[in-house]
Structure 1
Amino acid sequence: MKQIVMTSALLAFLPWGAEAAEGRLLATGGATTTEGAAGGGLVPWAVISGYTEDDEMGGTVALTRAQVDDYRLDVTAASFSYKNRFEISIAAQQFTLENLGAELRQQVFGMKYRVAGDLIYTAMPQVSVGALYKRNTRYDIPELVGSQRENDWEAYIAASKVWLAGPLDRTWLANVTVRATRANQFGLLGFGGDLNDSYDVRVEAATGVFLHRSLAIGLEYRQKPNNLSFAREDDAMSAFIAWFPSKRVALVGAFLDLGSIAGADNQTGYYLNLQASF
């Protein structure tokens, strides 16, 4: 499968507020992050992938491409969900250092469980807990720059809420995720470093608004640790537009600002994500 206009993790904003036909509302399964979990492009949300409910099973497959000035990330991901309660996911990442003619590879395995609340129908936000296991399959460059380990676990808790009749009579969404991590550049440069080798607690957030029942725009922000002395690591931000023409397909595009990556400053660009749900 070749990457077609892949999108780097969908900052998908679910057109919720729109059609409720047959079960869950359109887009309530979110998009696919670059790490494979359901949510936006940069941030896992409390949503569960697909459109499952009751005793149903489902999931997603997704392709993503993120391109900034000196680097490119390609991701192939898939997820499986059960009863709108439990999700498992897998993602294969290929990070190309175009200025060096080299590449990094990482596998990400994820689990997420909805513990309380509902995205739309309860006053309490939907709350989910999740864990990610990340494994570098090409570790020579991360080790060279001071990474302390080639694989590691991350844990997070996310809270998401949708308001169907929010300001300006639009549907709005907000998400906050708190993650324990020691990843360098999302784990692509390994975990821990000479500056810090302990878990840091970092905050991630997303907000969006529905322009149409199948079209939304929004922002995501993700804090990152700074573990390596050879180069600082900046937080990541994106501004996205997400289109959900049906419950089967989602397409997300975004402007990315990743700051400094491995000593290369002002890394800005785009990402695209194409997701199929079943």
Structure 2
Amino acid sequence: MDQPLIRLLAPLSLACLCAASPAAAQETSLIDGGKLLLTNGVTTIEGSSGGGVATWSTIAGRETDRGIGLSGHVTLIELPDYGWQSHGVAVGIANRVEISYARQNFDTRDVGTALGLGRGYTLNQNIFGAKLRLAGDIVYGDPLLPQISLGVEHKRNRDTPVALAVGAAHGSGTDFTLSATKLFLSHSVLVNATARLTKANQAGLLGFGTPGDDAHRVQFEGSVAYQLSRRAVIGAEYRTKPDQLAIAREDDWWDLFAAYALTDHLTVTAAYVDLGSIATFDQQRGGFLSAQIAF
């Protein structure tokens, strides 16, 4: 997906540069990188900007309202019985619109043998996302008005036969999110709340809905972060989950995280995550490590 986007944006960038006067070209840039550090968030496991497991109203990239931003991420989660890896890209347009793609790879390791899939069987999923900032600004403007964004994530499970075998109704589905985020700069505190409309089982890795319950359900995602310095942030997140599959209990997720901007463009996030029970294996707690590059 990143190559077509780059091919699309390159001619636009060239046209803007050619149309501008030399003086204007020095003053403006299509990729301006003018956001305050870390106010574009990091990247969630589903590819949207935000925290690690919670979506925020932030828009990907470091662009302001006159530019285009780009970001890419790689995330690893090490659990007692599983390995979770995701990678993807996102484009932010005028700090108003976000378009994202993520690929998730979930390694079942020895659990794959117990489930009859074979050792090291990997569940895969593609996620195509979009987000629109409706109102407010995460930093500026009315301190009582948060930045509010509406998002959509279309998920395509690449292992539909497995999802159906464990009791899911579908191999693909769509989540809808409504997020409100505000950074209280004078107190160095960020607060986020997201409502997610979903019928995904384990975020979609085990399919969507069940034959007896195929309705979307509202779930909550919350985040609180404290800015230690211009480059360092610590915080916590909580995400409720639907519990629909009869054969595999699904627990809520939470994490404790720290993010550090090594440069203006490279941010590293580390976290302790508790993902509860996954496919009958309990106490899936471990480490989360993510690297994001953004312009």
Work out which of the residue numbers 162, 170, 174 in structure 2 matches 1:149.
170
Q: Is residue 189 from structure 1 mapped to residue 202 from structure 2 by the alignment?
A: no
Question: Is the contact made by 1:112 and 1:129 (CA closer than 8 Å) also made in structure 2?
Answer: yes
Aligned to 2:107: 96
* Alpha-carbon distance in 2 for matches of 1:91, 1:268: 23
Secondary structure of 2:269 counterpart? strand
Work out which of the residue numbers 152, 162, 168 in structure 2 matches 1:131.
152
Work out which of the residue numbers 80, 94, 115 in structure 2 matches 1:83.
94
Q: CA deviation at 1:196?
A: 2.4
Q: Is residue 107 from structure 1 mapped to residue 126 from structure 2 by the alignment?
A: yes
Structure 1 residue runs without a partner (length 5+): 1-20
Q: CA deviation at 1:111?
A: 0.2
Aligned to 2:269: 252
Q: Which amino acid aligns with 1:155?
A: F
Q: Is residue 163 from structure 1 mapped to residue 174 from structure 2 by the alignment?
A: no
Question: What percent of counterpart residues are identical?
Answer: 38
* Alpha-carbon distance in 2 for matches of 1:136, 1:86: 25
Aligned to 1:32: 43
Q: CA deviation at 1:194?
A: 4.8
Q: Which amino acid aligns with 1:205?
A: G
* Alpha-carbon distance in 2 for matches of 1:246, 1:151: 38
* Alpha-carbon distance in 1 for matches of 2:33, 2:217: 42
Q: CA deviation at 1:83?
A: 0.5
Secondary structure of 1:228 counterpart? coil
Aligned to 2:260: 243
Q: Is residue 120 from structure 1 mapped to residue 131 from structure 2 by the alignment?
A: no
Change (3 A) 1:86 1:22: closer
Aligned to 1:57: 68
Question: Is the contact made by 1:197 and 1:227 (CA closer than 8 Å) also made in structure 2?
Answer: no
Q: CA deviation at 1:46?
A: 0.4
Change (3 A) 1:257 1:217: same
What does the per-residue CA deviation read over 1:117-149, in whole Å, with 9 as the maximum and x for residues that have no partner?
011112200000000000011222211110100
Q: Which amino acid aligns with 2:133?
A: R
Question: Is the contact made by 1:256 and 1:271 (CA closer than 8 Å) also made in structure 2?
Answer: yes
TM-score, structure 2 normalization: 0.84
Aligned to 1:13: none
Aligned to 2:29: none
Runs of 4+ in 1 over 4 A off after TM superposition: none
Q: CA deviation at 1:113?
A: 0.5
Q: Is residue 209 from structure 1 mapped to residue 209 from structure 2 by the alignment?
A: no
Question: Is the contact made by 2:160 and 2:171 (CA closer than 8 Å) also made in structure 1?
Answer: yes
Q: CA deviation at 1:246?
A: 2.5
Once the two structures are superposed, the pairs formed by residues 220-231 of structure 1 within 5 Å of their partners are 220-231=237-248
Q: RMSD of the TM alignment (CA)?
A: 1.3
Q: CA deviation at 1:243?
A: 0.3
Question: Is the contact made by 1:119 and 1:161 (CA closer than 8 Å) also made in structure 2?
Answer: yes
Question: Is the contact made by 1:26 and 1:246 (CA closer than 8 Å) also made in structure 2?
Answer: no
Question: Is the contact made by 2:251 and 2:275 (CA closer than 8 Å) also made in structure 1?
Answer: yes
* Alpha-carbon distance in 1 for matches of 2:96, 2:213: 35
Question: Is the contact made by 1:257 and 1:268 (CA closer than 8 Å) also made in structure 2?
Answer: yes
Change (3 A) 1:22 1:82: closer
Secondary structure of 1:95 counterpart? strand
Higher strand share: 1
Question: Is the contact made by 1:33 and 1:41 (CA closer than 8 Å) also made in structure 2?
Answer: yes
Change (3 A) 1:222 1:195: farther
Question: Is the contact made by 1:195 and 1:226 (CA closer than 8 Å) also made in structure 2?
Answer: no
Question: Is the contact made by 1:255 and 1:268 (CA closer than 8 Å) also made in structure 2?
Answer: yes
Change (3 A) 1:156 1:186: same
TM-score, structure 1 normalization: 0.89
Higher helix share: 2
**Greater relative contact order (CA < 8 Å, ≥ 6 in sequence):** 1
